[in-house]
Structure 1
Amino acid sequence: MWVQIWERLLEQHRGKTFGVIAGVVLGIIYLIFGLFHMLIFVLIVYTGYYIGKKLDRNEPVFPAEDTWRRLMDKWRLFR
């Protein structure tokens, strides 16, 4: 049963699955070696999920072109 669940997760949600696993591993490392801050742990897990979701959709993780275009449009007002 568990094998089927993992196979299905890896087939349909590979990026999100690896993102959450990476987030949990990094979060546990943070909890063991750092101070106990649950909000930081949740932030790390969510960041892994978010990056994995972007990779599943074949979207750029950080949309550099869109960000650059927005910044340039705002600064053009001062020219």
Structure 2
Amino acid sequence: MKLLVYIFDKYRGKAVGATIGFIFSLLVLIIGLWRTLFILLCIGVGYYIGNKFDKGESFLEFLDKILPRGMR
């Protein structure tokens, strides 16, 4: 356990990158490339929307930005 803490403290970027790469490779092997990419896309969209709300943007303002004129 101390070794993992040391590695994470000393090589944080490499440790996080390797962990993300490992998880991505497992997902590709288990569920396939396209499903994995779809999941990552959904996570990215969810993060983007959540970030907008954290910055205080209302849902209607968000819809105005992403929908064509007259859709709302």
TM-score over 0.5 for the pair: no
Higher relative contact order (CA 8 A, sep 6+): 1
User: When the two structures are superposed, what TM-score results if normalisation uses the length of structure 1?
Assistant: 0.39
